[in-house]
Amino acid sequence: MASHDMTVAPDLSAIAPLNEWVEERCQEAGLGGELTFKFMLAIEEAVTNVVSYAFAEVPPPHRIRLRLDIDEDRCAAELVDNGRPFDPSAAPSPDLTGSLEEREAGGLGIHLIRNMVDRVEYRRADGQNRLRIETARR
């Protein structure tokens, strides 16, 4: 199993370098293009949510760490941050029935994550959020 760790700056400008790093790790592991895209997109959405919402009213230092574990059967990412507690796996599904003008803003990032990977797990431990996303390597 290949394991990789990266510290992510708590800033939206860190997303592009993060995407490059994840893509490189996926290519090194021989993942196909569609699986790499879905896995990267789920990670990007999760990190964007942390940067955008987790640290409001939380004094610095703000920390984000990403760990990738890729083996012959699965791809997993664990995102750890010291922001406010928030369980995206428990968030309600957005109402997608109305027009864009009628819908309430937000919630689509979590919906996207759920649809890009096979499993989303959250736990809060030692003052940190731990979000694990995992998908089978098909």
Kindly state the tokens that stand for 77: 């990412």
Reported pTM: 0.88
How far is the CA of 117 from the CAs of 1, 11, 90, in angstroms? Answer: 19, 24, 16
Percentage of residues of the chain with pLDDT beyond 90: 77
Could you read off the pLDDT of 44-74 as tens digits, one per residue? 999 999 999 999 999 999 999 999 999 999 9
Angle at the Cα of 89 (from 137 to 138), degrees rounded to 5? 10
Question: What is the residue extent of each domain of the chain?
Answer: 2-136
Could you read off the pLDDT of 95-123 as tens digits, one per residue? 666 665 655 555 567 878 998 999 999 99
Domain 2-136 in CATH 1.10.8.590? The answer is no
Helices (H) and strands (E) in the chain, counts: 3, 5
